[in-house]
Amino acid sequence: MTPFEMLLTIGAIALGTMLTRFLPFLIFSKGNPPAFISYLGTVLPPAAVGLLVVYCLKDAVFTSYHALPELIAIALIVLLHKWRHSMFLSIGGGTAFYMFLVQVVFR
């Protein structure tokens, strides 16, 4: 790849990123967004989390104790989120606890 092609590629990526970041502000600059967009803003985050849970558990083997670390970590994540309402704490604490379970407890 020549330097010109690299610059062209980086410019296209930067333009695409800027377009996707700034376009909603340009489209909805006159106050409140439409009701459908507001509805999507309230419904999509829980749907994305549900999709991630299904994706993370798709390869878990639910025989013997093989899925036990995943289920314990999910329970901790739910408890942490109910307790502190912090997505960062829930994700970080759940990931660290899952890694501890897999590498130390369930070798």
User: Does residue 72 lie within any of the structural domains?
Assistant: yes
User: Does residue 19 lie within any of the structural domains?
Assistant: no
Which pLDDT belongs to residue 65?
76
User: Does residue 32 lie within any of the structural domains?
Assistant: no
Q: What is the pTM of this model?
A: 0.61
User: Does residue 36 lie within any of the structural domains?
Assistant: no
Tens digits of residue pLDDT in 67-83: 899 999 999 999 999 99
User: Does residue 81 lie within any of the structural domains?
Assistant: yes
Report residue 88 as tokens. Answer: 């960062």
The answer to whether 69 and 105 are in contact (CB under 8 A) is yes
Helices 87-100/68-84 angle, 10° precision:
150
Give the amino acid at 30.
K
* Number of domains into which the chain is organized: 1
Give the structural domain span for 86.
46-105
The answer to whether 66 and 101 are in contact (CB under 8 A) is no
